[in-house]
């Protein structure tokens, strides 16, 4: 079905281009979508076709025919998924560990996107396709809160807020050994590792990255940390903790066999912690942002999932 809209230009608009004017006023339409509709003759101004650079005139009647978003080629799958919050613009979900976010070679099914297509019924489309807009990502073996947009306007607004560092993300992580102080800020650029092309690392030519860590608990040979992201680079927390000599417990990429470096009684304790941590001890625990529609602050929290909570309970008693 085609959605038909009629718009009247009431006064001289601040935008001097039709595509910018409509993108700023018509919900669910991005500037690129408006341009496509204009090129296809689906937008008429006073009954005639118009160009995207045409200036809107006060009193003009604009008729818009918006085709339904194309169906996604991805399959909706009834996978377990906790939806913490949902409204007409966005959803906040808890991604379980072991779930890949986007379909990719080797992961065509069983992803978060497949699950979202099943659980969220009113996706109006991102980029003209009925699919969820992923605002930020989590690694496959990282659990916790993720922010998802339901339509283009929400996706653009939330992505811009993330770029301006107005979306706060806080994680819980366990790291090997002990930080020198209860608080630590790591400001080190991250880029592709020159020695391991599938890994990231701290490199001079990398993109700026800053993480703030605070120790919450001191275990025998590991710390429980809170990590606040000021930027959002790939594997940022994992890379920064490896950089300062305290990789994430259970991280097979950046902290493999780290437990073997301990001596004395700590060696046996570390070996047991490594055995119990069947995946990286990293959980997206808090998410804060302003709603893209009404601007009110939104805050969500998520406690440690059962597998990580069991590891932490043992570590406290060990």
Hey, how many other C-beta atoms are within 10 angstroms of the C-beta on 28?
18
Q: Which residues is 91 bridged to in the sheet? A: 86, 148
Instruction: Spell out the residues 6+ positions from residue 304 whose beta carbon is closer than 8 angstroms to its own.
Output: 172, 283, 285, 312
Q: Which residue has better confidence, 122 or 15?
A: 122
Q: What is the DSSP letter of 160?
A: H
Mean pLDDT of 32-49: 82
What is the structure's pLDDT at 299? 98
**Which residues does the annotation mark as catalytic?**
139
Q: Where does the pLDDT of residue 236 fall: very low under 50, low under 70, confident under 90, or very high at 90 and above?
A: very high
What is the structure's pLDDT at 28? 65
For the packed helices 264-276 and 306-317, what is the interaxial angle rounded to 10 degrees?
A: 160
pTM assigned to the model: 0.78
Hey, how many other C-beta atoms are within 10 angstroms of the C-beta on 90?
25
What percentage of the chain reaches a pLDDT higher than 70? 91
Q: What is the DSSP letter of 261?
A: G
Per-residue model confidence as pLDDT tens digits over 240-279: 999 999 999 999 999 999 999 999 889 999 999 999 999 9
Mean pLDDT of 23-35: 76
Q: Which residues is 290 bridged to in the sheet? A: 297
Q: What are phi and psi of 238, to 5 degrees?
A: -65, -45
Place of tokens 């599938």: 198
- Say how far apart CA 167 and CA 247 lie, in whole Å: 25
What is the structure's pLDDT at 302? 97
Rounded to the nearest 10°, the torsion over CA 306, 309, 311, 312 is 180
What is the structure's pLDDT at 124? 59
Q: Which among 142, 140, 173 has a CA at the least distance from the CA of 241?
A: 173
Encoded tokens for 294? 């009404």
Find the angle CA(173)-CA(275)-CA(146) to the nearest 5 degrees.
35
Encoded tokens for 253? 């990429």
Instruction: Spell out the residues 6+ positions from residue 192 whose beta carbon is closer than 8 angstroms to its own.
Output: 199, 200, 201, 203, 206
């Amino acid at each position: 079905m085609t959605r038909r809209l009629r718009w009247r230009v009431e006064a001289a608009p601040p935008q001097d281009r039709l595509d910018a004017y409509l993108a700023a006023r018509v919900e669910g339409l991005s500037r690129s979508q408006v341009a496509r509709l204009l090129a296809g003759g689906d937008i008429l101004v006073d009954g005639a076709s118009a160009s995207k650079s045409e200036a809107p005139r006060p009193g003009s009647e604009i008729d818009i025919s918006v085709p339904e978003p194309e169906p996604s080629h991805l399959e909706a799958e009834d996978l377990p998924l906790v939806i913490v919050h949902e409204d007409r613009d966005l959803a906040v979900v808890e991604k379980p560990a072991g779930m890949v976010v986007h379909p990719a070679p080797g992961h065509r099914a069983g992803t978060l996107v497949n699950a979202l297509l099943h659980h969220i019924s009113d996706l109006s489309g991102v980029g003209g396709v009925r699919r969820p807009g992923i605002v930020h990502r989590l690694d496959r073996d990282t659990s916790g809160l993720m922010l998802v947009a339901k339509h283009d306007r929400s996706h653009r607004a939330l992505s811009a807020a993330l770029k301006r560092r107005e979306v706060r993300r806080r994680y819980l992580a366990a790291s090997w050994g002990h930080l020198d102080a209860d608080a630590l800020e790591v400001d080190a650029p991250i880029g592709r590792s020159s020695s391991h092309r599938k890994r990231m690392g701290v490199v001079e030519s990398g993109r700026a990255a800053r993480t703030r860590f605070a120790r919450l608990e001191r275990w025998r040979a590991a710390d429980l940390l809170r990590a606040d992201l000021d930027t959002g680079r790939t594997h940022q927390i994992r890379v920064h903790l490896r950089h300062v000599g305290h990789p994430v417990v259970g991280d097979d990429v950046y902290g493999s066999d780290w437990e073997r470096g301990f001596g004395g009684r700590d060696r046996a304790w570390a070996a047991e912690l490594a055995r119990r941590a069947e995946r990286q001890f990293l959980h997206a625990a808090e998410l804060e942002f302003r709603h893209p529609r009404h601007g009110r602050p939104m805050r969500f929290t998520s406690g440690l999932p059962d597998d990580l909570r069991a590891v932490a309970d043992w570590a406290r008693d060990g």
